[in-house]
Amino acid sequence: MTGPEVDPKAVAAARTICEAIERMRVLSFLYEGEERTADPYILGTNRKGILVLSAVQRTGGSGKGFRSFHLKGLSSLRIMEQKFFGSHPDYNPKDRDFEKILCQVKPRG
C-alpha cells in the first residue's frame, strides 16, 4: 500500500518558502507566468488540500497587499536578500482559510 504521490517540485518550493519565512526574506517568483515579489507570511493547505502561500505582494499582479498563491502556479522561486518585518496590520496568524499550516511568521506580542 502506498500513500499519496508527492510532487518533488512542490516539496522544494515549500522548503524555499519556509526558509524565507524563517529568515524573514522577500520572495521573488513567477506566478502564472508573471513576475512578482512578496513578503511570505503563511504556507499551508486549504480545506481542499491545496498548498497555498499567503503573502503581501510588493510588485506585479494586481498590486500591493495580501494575496493567496496556489503553489502549483509558482515557478522560478528565489529568496531575496531584502528583509521584511512581519508586522503587516492585516496579518492574521490564525487565518481560518488554512486547514493545516506548514510554516508561518511568528506572531508578535
- The pLDDT, as a whole number, for residue 1 is 41
- Give yes or no for residue 2 having a pLDDT over 60: no
Rounded mean pLDDT of 1-19?
79
CA 98 from centre of chain: 12
pLDDT tens for each residue of 42-67: 999 999 999 999 999 999 988 899 99
Q: Going along the chain, which residue ranges are E strands?
A: 25-31, 34-46, 51-59, 65-70, 74-83, 98-104
- The one-letter code for the residue type at 71 is L
- The pLDDT, as a whole number, for residue 85 is 93
Is domain 8-104 in CATH 1.10.10, yes or no? no
Residue extents of the structural domains in the chain: 8-104
Residue 100's beta-bridge partner residues? Answer: 45
pLDDT tens for each residue of 63-99: 899 999 999 999 999 999 999 999 999 999 999 999 9
